[in-house]
Amino acid sequence: MKNLADILELDGPAGPPTERMLQILTEACRLFATRGFDGVSVRDIAQECGISKATLYHHFPDKDAILRPLVMGITRSLHQRVLRAIPAEAEPAEKLRAFMVESARFFEEYRWAFIVSSTVFWTDPQARQRRQRIEWRDRHEALLRIILEEGVQRGAFRIEDIGMAGRLVLGALNWMPKWYDPKGPLPASAIAEQFYDVLLAGVGARPDVITI
């Protein structure tokens, strides 16, 4: 995982996060991703960091306070990074490609946090910063929808239901964590490129073109 501090916004009233806090967040993130939030005890996190549980509670008020910045940071940063990666003047197809590739790249860099974020979205009916998180996610989905709509209007895309097309794209990308192997032959960005190719041209052969 790249520097986890980049995606966090802990530098509020308490100043920038300390080295120890980052260590706790990093270890907790990896544990949450592999065993789930409820499957990891505060003792586990402390032990993994080589400190006592009481020390951990010196840096964080409660268990939720460890999870929250991870989920929140990932949701926000994903959108911001993808948004920044999309060239303003490009063709819609190129924008879609940028959206998909940058999403995959982000996933690869912050894999554990990405997994935590996407699993927590489920089993969390109430509070945990839900509103603000959903706001970012909606903004992200809106960005994709705008790209697709622009493509349709400019004649680059041919889409019946934009919402459904968007969900197909996001589904393929968001499902990646479940099977992606960082030691595999292809980086996530290359996989996203392939997805893009299939998505744009379809898998169906085009006899009408071939037989001209």
Partner DNA sequence: GGCACCCAACCGATCGGTCGGTCGGGCCGC
Partner DNA sequence: GCGGCCCGACCGACCGATCGGTTGGGTGCC
Site for a copy of itself in 111-150 (CB under 8 A): 115, 119, 121-123, 125, 148
Rule CB under 8 A: say whether 178 interacts with a copy of itself.
yes
Instruction: For 5-49, give the DSSP string.
Output: GGG----STT-SPPHHHHHHHHHHHHHHHHH-STTS-HHHHHHHH
What is the rounded CA–CA span in Å between residue 69 and residue 61? 13
| Spatial contact of 164 and 102, defined as CB atoms under 8 Å apart | no
In whole angstroms, how close is the CB of 42 to DNA at the nearest point? 4
| Spatial contact of 96 and 160, defined as CB atoms under 8 Å apart | no
Question: Judged by CB, which is closer to a copy of itself: 93, or 143?
Answer: 93
Question: Judged by CB, which is closer to DNA: 20, or 137?
Answer: 20
Mark 4-43 with x for binding to a copy of itself (rule: CB under 8 A) and - for no binding. ------------------------------xxx-xx----
**Beta-carbon neighbour count of residue 140 at 10 Å?**
20
In whole angstroms, how close is the CB of 199 to a copy of itself at the nearest point? 6
| Spatial contact of 156 and 137, defined as CB atoms under 8 Å apart | no
Q: SS3 for 96?
A: helix
Question: Judged by CB, which is closer to a copy of itself: 17, or 102?
Answer: 102
What is the rounded CA–CA span in Å between residue 16 and residue 36? 27
Which listed option, a copy of itself, DNA, none, makes contact with residue 55 (CB within 5 to 8 Å by class)?
Answer: DNA
In whole angstroms, how close is the CB of 152 to a copy of itself at the nearest point? 9
Going by the DSSP 8-state scheme, the letter that residue 180 receives in this structure is -
Q: Which residues bind a copy of itself (CB under 8 A)?
A: 34-36, 38-39, 93, 115, 119, 121-123, 125, 148, 151, 155-161, 164-165, 167-168, 170-176, 178-179, 191, 194-195, 197-206, 208-209, 212
